[in-house]
Amino acid sequence: MTDLDIHKLCSKFDIEILEEASYVLWNVWKAVHPKYSTLQACIGALAEDSGLYQALKNAHGLKKYDVVREWAVETKEMAVQGQVDQLLSEIRPAVSKLVTGELTLPTWTPSDMGNFEMAAHLTSLRIPCLNGKPSVLLHDLGSFESDPSLSTRLNNIFTPNHHTFLVNTSGSGKTRLLLEGMCRHWGFYFTSLVDSSLLGSSDVQNSIRSYIPDSPGFRTTLPRPGSPEYESALTRNRLNASRIFSQLFLARLLVFDLFVNALDQVEAGDSAVYKLRWLFLQLQPSLVHPQIYDIFDALTGTLSQATDSYINSTTKALLASIRKRCMDRPQSPPIFCVLDEAQYAATQHCNAFRSDNGSAYRPVLREIVRAWENQCAGQGVFMVVAGTGISKDVVDQAMASAIMKESKYRWCSDTGAFDAVDAQRRYIQKYLPPAFLSSASGERLMERVGYWLHGRRVCHLSSECLTDQFVRAEGPGPITISSRYKLDFHKLTKNTDMIATVHQITTHYLMRAVLPGSLGKDEKTYVEYGFARFIDAETNAVAVDEPLVLLAATHWINAHYRSSYKFFAKQIHVHEATSNGFENYIAFCLNLAFSNKQRVDEIFTFSGTPPEWARQKAELVSLHRSASSNSVEISPVRHSTISGPSLTLGANAKTTTDTSAWLDHDAHAPICFPHVSLGPDLLFVLRLADGTNIWVALQAKYSTGKSGMLSRLYLRRAMRSVTPSEFFLDKEGKPFSPTSDPDLVATTLQSLSMLPHRREDAGKYSLLRVVASFPAQTALKRCIEEDLDTQGHPIACLNMKYIKQLTKGLSPVDFLDGLEKATMSAQVVGKRTRKGSGLRPAPMKSMSTFNVTAARAQFPSLESGFIFGDNAGGSQVTQGVVDRISDYLINTNAQLGADYSVSAESTRRAMAQAPAEAAKMFNASSPDEIVLSHSSTMNLENVARGLEADIRVGDEFIITGEHEANAGPWKQLAKRRGAVIKIWNATPTNPSNPYSLSLKVTDLLPLITSKTRVVAFTACSNILGSIVPVKDVVTALRAQAKVKGTPKIEVSVDCVAYAPHRFIDVQDWDVDFAVFSFYKVYGPHLSALYVRCATLQASLSPLVHHFLDYSHTSYKLQPGGPSYELAYGTTAAVAYLESLTPSGDVRDAFEAIALHEQTLVKPLLGFLTADKQRERGVRVVGEEHAGLSRVPTISFVVVGQKPLRSRDIVAVFDKKGGIGIRYGHFYAYSRIEDLDPKVDVNDGVVRISLVHYNTVGEVDRIIEILEEVLAE
C-alpha cells in the first residue's frame, strides 16, 4: 500500500486521538511488523512510546510514512530481552538449588530457657522461620492432602473450569487454604497487600500504589462521562493498568519457566514436593538473589520497557510451553492463578475506572482480573480470588465485564472452622509435648481452648502463643499482629444502624449468653465487617458465635461508640421473654460494684442487725467445675474491665436443666438468671475476705409503687421468692417438678448445700436474700414479720443510694436520679381539673427536651422537604419500619404452621413480637389481648360480630358522631338485632363560634339506662382534635350504670386519632375494647385491637373456622391472618417511639411528643382565631384554645359574606406545591352533617393535621399561604 493510499484511507481519523491514530499505525505496520497486526498492539505501541506517536503525527501530516515503517521496534525489544536474560541468569543457580532442596526456608530453633522438653518438641516440628520468628502459617504445608475433610474443601475451592471468589471473615483461614491449594496445583500466588508477615511478592501492591498512578497520562479521577476527554482518559487508564498487570504476570511466568527448566534436569519425584518449593519462592522472593529483595517485582520493573507485542507474544508462548511440560507430568491438574487479600485491590483507584457503559465506578481489581484473563485465555488457567471484609456487590460489579460474563465465576466460603472440640484438640496437640498435654495443666489448657477459641482459625494461630517459647520469639515490647489476623471493626462506623445492632447483640450476649437466630437481610454485611462468619460453603449461612470476636467487638464499641452501661440504662424498662431490662441493669451494676472488693453491708442494707461477716469486703466470683479434674475452680470476676474466666456475665438458664447445671458449677458465667419457677431473678456467689463463700439470691422489682414505696403485696412476694425453702414451689406450696426431674426441689437444695468453702453462719444454705426495687423503695421492715424463712438466711435490700453514687458519673449522667424524679413527679401530677361541665386530662411533664431534628432523621420521606400536613390520614414511616418489612420479605418469608427451616421460626417470632409490641402501646396486661387486622374498621366490625349472639332486642348502644369506624358497626349490629342507637352529641363551648364543640360527660350520663349494653366513643376526634378524658368518662358511666342497675356494659374506644399523640392506658381506663391504626402511628398499614381478657371470654363468640378452638384467645376475633411483613414492621414503630427519650419508655415518649406538639398548635390556632381572621369568616371546628387537652389536628371553615369552599383553599396549597393538607368529612360524616350552621358535607372542612416530626418552621409556611388565601 502506497503512502497516498494509506493517507486517503485514514484521512477520516483524528490523529490526535490515540485510538484513531492506532488505525493509521496499523495500516503502516501490518505488512512490515507482524507482531503489530492487531489494533490493540498498535494502541499499546503508541501509548508506551511518545516518540513513535510524534513521528506518526509528523508523517501523517507530510503524507510520507517511511520513518514510521523503519522505526526500530526490534532494537527496543532486544534490549529488554537482554536485561531479562541477565536477571534470570543471575538467579538460575539458586533456583536450581531450590528445586533440588538444597535451598529452602530456614527452620526456627527455640531457646530452651529452662524448659528443655518444650524446646526439644518445638525444634522437632521444623517450623519455618521468617525474620527470626516462627511462622505457624507455613508449618506443615501440604498436610491437608492427608485429611479427607480438608482435601474435599480444597477440591471445592480449586475447581477446574471455574473461577472462584473465596470469601469469609477475617482470620477464617483463607490464606492457609490458598497455600495448601498451591501445594496441590501448579500455579501462581499473588497478593494485593503484603502485611507485616511479609509473605508474598509486593509486585501487585507496588503496581497499585506506584506503577499505575505514575504511568504516563494516568488520571486518578476520570473526567465527567460525556465530556470531551472522558473516553480517551478512560482508555489510557485501562491501557496503562492492563500493560502493568500483564508485565507483572509475565515476570512470574519467566521465573516459573526457569524453575520448570531446572526441574527438567532432575529425576522426577513427587510433584507435590516441587510445587511446595515453587510456592516457597513465591512467598519469599528474596530467596534466590542476595542483592534483590523481590525478584518478581524487579522483573516487573525490567519489563516496563517492553512493548505490548513483546509481553503478549512472550506470555502466550511461555504459557503454552509451561502448561505442556507440567501436564506431561503425572497427576498434574490445571494451572491456578491465586490473588489473595483482594479486598485491598477492591478499594483502590475506584475513581479512575468505570464500567463499560460508564454508569458506575469500578476498582482496580477489575483491571487485574481483566488483564490476567486476557493473557490466559484458552490456556487452561483458572483464577481463585480471595478477600476479607469485601462486599459481594463490589466484587460482582468489579467482575462485570464482557470477559467475565463469558466465564464461569462462583462464590465460595468453604473455609471451615474449629467448631468441634476434637478438631481444636488435634490442632493444638501438634505444638505441645505429650507429657504436658497429659498433665493437669495441659488438660485445663485444652478445656480453656475449647471454651474461648471456638470459631475462626486466627484464634488458634494465636493460641500457640500460649507457650512461652512463642512469646519469647516475639522479643520485648508489643507483639505485632499481622493485618490478616486483626479483628478490626472500624468499618462499622460507616453504618450507624448496624453498629447499634452489633451493640445490642454483644451486650445481650455478654449479659445472658443469648445470640440471635438470624441477623436479617444484612447478615452478609456483618461478615464483611468482621463480626460474623460464613459457616457453609456457598455464602448462605451466617453465624455470630465466636467468644473472642464478641469480646473484641464489645471492647471496640465501648471505646468508639457507646458504653454497655448506656445500653442497659436505656433498656431498663424493657421486659421480653428472654430478657428483663431491670434485671440486666442490676446485674451490670453489681458486677461493677464488686469488681473491686467492697464491704457487703455497704452494698446491701440489712433488716435488723447485719451479720458480723457483712462487715467484710467481698468480690464476685465464678465457680466452674473442671471436666478433667472434677474440682471447682473459683475465680474473681472483673467483667466491667473485660477480665475473668467467663466471656459472659450471666447465664440465661431458662430451663430447669440449665439452672441445675449452673448450680452444680458446670457453667462459666458468675451470674445466673434462673428458671422462672425457681424464685429469684438472679443468683451469684460472693467470696468474702476470709475466703468463705455465700450464695446471693436476688429479686428485682422495677416498680413505681405507691407513695414511693414498693407495695406490700409485691414485697411479700419478693421476700418469698428468694427464700430457699420456697424454691420451685408454687403459691399453694406444691413443688414444680417436671417429669424429667421429679426430684428437682431436693436436688436444688442439695446443690446449694455443696457450695465450696461456704459460711456456716449465713443460714442453712449459706445464702443471703436480697430484694432490689426501683424507683419504689423496698423498706423491708414493713413485712419482716411475715417473712417465711425459718432457716436463718439473712435478708437485705440493695442499697440504691450506693448504686446511684456508683453510676453517677457514667453516661447517661445521674440516670437513676433523673428517672426517679421523673417517675415520682408523674405520680404527683394526677388530679384532673374541670372546666364548665366538660373534662380536661391531667397535665403532663416530660423527662427531657424533645429533639425534633433527631426524630425527623428517622423518616426517609422527610428528606424531600415536603411538608406533610395530613398526618391524621396517615403518617410517614421510619426507616426501621421499611427495613423490617423488607427484611421479612427477603429473609424470613414463610407461612405459619410450616416446620421447615429458620424462616418458619422467624415468622412465628414475628407474629409473637408484633402483638407484644402492640400491647406496650395499649399498656395491655398480655399480648393475648391483642388482635391484628388490616384496618380499625375491620377490627371493630369483628368486635360487633363477635358480640352479636350476646345482644338482645331492646339493648341500647350509645355512640358518638365521630369517625364511622366506631359507629357504623354498632349501627349495623343494632339493625340486625333490634337494638336501640343513642347519640352522645358534642355541644358548643364558645358562644361566638357555633362550630367550637366538645363532648361533655354531663351529656352522656342521662343517656345511660338499665338497658345500656355498649358505649362507643373516640378518645380523640379526627375532626375536632379534642381529647376525651377516657378514664373519667368510663368511671362516671360505670358508676351511673351501677345506679341504673345495668347488668352488663362494655366500652369501646376508638384511639385512632389519639394514638399518634398520647399514651393509651387501657388498664387505667377500664375499657373493654380499644383500637388504633399503626399507619397513623409511624408504622405500616395495620390495625391493633385490644380486647379485655374477661370480656373476650364472657361475651364474644369466635369468628374463626368451626374446627378451631380459640375460645380463650384473641385469635377468636381474627378470622384470617394479618400480613406477616406488616406485622413485623409494626415492631419497628414501637422501637422508634422508645428511642425518643433516654428512658426508652413509650409513656415518656408521648409526654415529650405532647409538649413539642404544643409549639405547633399555639401559632396555628393563634392565627386562625385572631380577630382579623374571625372578621374574614374563619371558624375553627373544635375547641379554640391551645393546651394539652387537644392535639395538633385543626379543622376550620370559612363562612360569612365571602365564604370559601374548603376544596378551593386546599387547591391553592396543591397549586403552590410542597405542602399537603386535605378537605372533606374524613369519614366523620355525622359530625359534619350535624354542624349548625350547616356546611356542605362533601366539601366538609379544611383539616391541617400535624404530628411530632412537623416543625414550627413548617407551621409558619402553612400560615403564610393561609394569609394569601384569606386575603383574596
Q: Which segment, 242-251, 776-785, 813-822, is predicted with the most confidence on average?
A: 242-251
The answer to whether the CB of 981 falls within 8 A of the CB of 1014 is no
What is the C-alpha R_g of the chain?
Answer: 39
pLDDT band for 29, please (50, 70, 90 cuts). confident
**pLDDT score of 731 more than 70:** no
**List of residues 6+ apart from 405 with CB closer than 8 A:** none
434-438, 685-689, 716-720: which range is least confident on average?
A: 434-438
Higher pLDDT: 508 or 1102? It is 508
pLDDT band for 840, please (50, 70, 90 cuts). very low
CA distance 934 to 66: 84
Residues 556 and 602 in one domain: no
CA distance 239 to 217: 10
Within-domain flag for 966:
yes
Percent of the chain with pLDDT over 70: 87
Within-domain flag for 657:
yes
Please report the pLDDT score of residue 1114 as a whole number.
62
371-385, 613-627, 730-744, 1184-1198: which range is least confident on average?
A: 730-744
Residues 588 and 666 in one domain: yes
Within-domain flag for 965:
yes
Residue that is written with C-alpha cell 516459573 in the block: 256
Q: How distant is the alpha carbon of residue 330 from its chain centre? A: 51
CA distance 900 to 902: 7
The DSSP letter of residue 673 is E
* Tens-place pLDDT, residues 932-949: 988 888 888 988 888 888
Kindly state the cell numbers that stand for 123. Answer: 525444634
Residues 757 and 631 in one domain: yes
Return the CATH number at 948. Answer: 3.40.640.10
Residues 313 and 212 in one domain: yes
Please report the pLDDT score of residue 398 as a whole number.
63
* Phi, psi torsion values for 411, nearest 5 degrees: -100, 145
CA distance 732 to 728: 11
792-796, 826-830, 1015-1019, 1069-1073: which range is least confident on average?
A: 826-830
Within-domain flag for 1090:
yes
Please report the pLDDT score of residue 845 as a whole number.
38
DSSP assignment of 422-452 equals HHHHHHHHTTS-HHHHTSHHHHHHHHHHHHH
Please report the pLDDT score of residue 1069 as a whole number.
94
**List of residues 6+ apart from 909 with CB closer than 8 A:** 517
Please report the pLDDT score of residue 465 as a whole number.
42
Within-domain flag for 41:
yes
C-alpha distances in Å from residue 882, one per residue of 859, 904, 1148: 10, 21, 24
Element (H, E) at 566: helix 564-570
Sheet containing strand 163-167, edge to edge, reads 187-191, 335-340, 381-387, 163-167, 409-412
DSSP assignment of 993-1023 equals EEEEEE--HHHHGGG--TTEEEEEEESB-TT
Please report the pLDDT score of residue 1004 as a whole number.
92
Kindly state the cell numbers that stand for 164. Answer: 472462584
Out of 369, 386, 412, pick the residue that ends a domain: 412
Q: How many CB atoms are closer than 10 A to CB 83?
A: 16
Out of 776, 797, 818, pick the residue that ends a domain: 818
The answer to whether the CB of 231 falls within 8 A of the CB of 356 is no
pLDDT band for 499, please (50, 70, 90 cuts). confident
DSSP assignment of 140-208 equals TTTGGGG-HHHHHHHHHHS-TT-EEEEE--TTSSHHHHHHHHHHHS-EEEEES---TT--S-SHHHHII
Higher pLDDT: 1253 or 117? It is 1253
DSSP assignment of 219-245 equals -SSPPPTTSTTHHHHHHHHHHHHHHHH
CA distance 803 to 815: 11
Residue 1179: beta bridge partners?
1197
The answer to whether the CB of 810 falls within 8 A of the CB of 563 is yes
Which residue type occupies 211?
Y
**pLDDT score of 841 more than 70:** no
CA distance 267 to 253: 23
State the chain's mean pLDDT as an integer.
Answer: 84
Residues 747 and 607 in one domain: yes
Please report the pLDDT score of residue 913 as a whole number.
78
Residues 721 and 657 in one domain: yes
Higher pLDDT: 752 or 41? It is 752
Q: How far apart are the first and last CA of the chain?
A: 84
CA distance 120 to 117: 5
Residues 1155 and 1206 in one domain: yes
Domain that holds residue 1193: 1151-1271
Higher pLDDT: 81 or 1209? It is 1209
Within-domain flag for 684:
yes
Please report the pLDDT score of residue 693 as a whole number.
97
Residues 15 and 161 in one domain: no
Residues 1157 and 1085 in one domain: no
Burial level of 131, CB count in 10 A (0-12/13-18/19+)?
Answer: exposed
Q: How many CB atoms are closer than 10 A to CB 537?
A: 17
Q: Which of 627, 602, 321, 569 is nearest to 444 (CA)?
A: 627
**pLDDT score of 276 more than 80:** yes
DSSP assignment of 71-120 equals --HHHHHHHHHHHHHHHHHHHHHHHHHHHHTSS---B-----TT-HHHHH
Buried b (16+ CB within 10 A) or exposed e, 1069-1084: bebbbbbbbbbbbbbb
With residues binned 3-state (H G I as helix, E B as strand, rest as coil), the percentages for the chain, rounded to 5, are: 45, 15, 40
Kindly state the cell numbers that stand for 481. Answer: 499482629
**pLDDT score of 772 more than 70:** yes
Burial level of 440, CB count in 10 A (0-12/13-18/19+)?
Answer: exposed
Q: Where are the beta strands (DSSP E) in 270-347?
A: 335-340
pLDDT band for 834, please (50, 70, 90 cuts). very low
CA distance 1165 to 549: 57
Return the CATH number at 259. Answer: 3.40.50
Please report the pLDDT score of residue 497 as a whole number.
65
Residues 601 and 503 in one domain: no
Within-domain flag for 905:
no
Burial level of 896, CB count in 10 A (0-12/13-18/19+)?
Answer: exposed
**List of residues 6+ apart from 569 with CB closer than 8 A:** 585, 807, 810, 812, 815, 1142
Residues 964 and 1023 in one domain: yes
Mean pLDDT across 344-349:
92
CA distance 722 to 798: 13
Higher pLDDT: 343 or 494? It is 343
CA distance 1129 to 884: 5
The CA-CA-CA angle for residues 141, 145, 146, to 5°, reads 105
Return the CATH number at 1209. Answer: 3.90.1150.10
Indicate the number of domains in the chain. 6
Please report the pLDDT score of residue 461 as a whole number.
43
Residues 1181 and 1057 in one domain: no
Kindly state the cell numbers that stand for 928. Answer: 393475648
Mean pLDDT across 1163-1169:
93
Residue that is written with C-alpha cell 381478657 in the block: 1093
The answer to whether the CB of 1008 falls within 8 A of the CB of 970 is no
Within-domain flag for 679:
yes
Strands 767-775 and 693-703 come out as: parallel
Of how many residues is the chain composed? 1272
Please report the pLDDT score of residue 830 as a whole number.
36
The answer to whether the CB of 176 falls within 8 A of the CB of 137 is yes
The answer to whether the CB of 431 falls within 8 A of the CB of 464 is yes
Residue 672: beta bridge partners?
651, 683
pLDDT band for 479, please (50, 70, 90 cuts). very low
Percent of the chain with pLDDT over 90: 42
CA distance 284 to 286: 5
CA distance 342 to 358: 23
Residue that is written with C-alpha cell 403552590 in the block: 1216
Out of 412, 427, 454, pick the residue that ends a domain: 412
Please report the pLDDT score of residue 326 as a whole number.
73
Q: How distant is the alpha carbon of residue 569 from its chain centre? A: 20
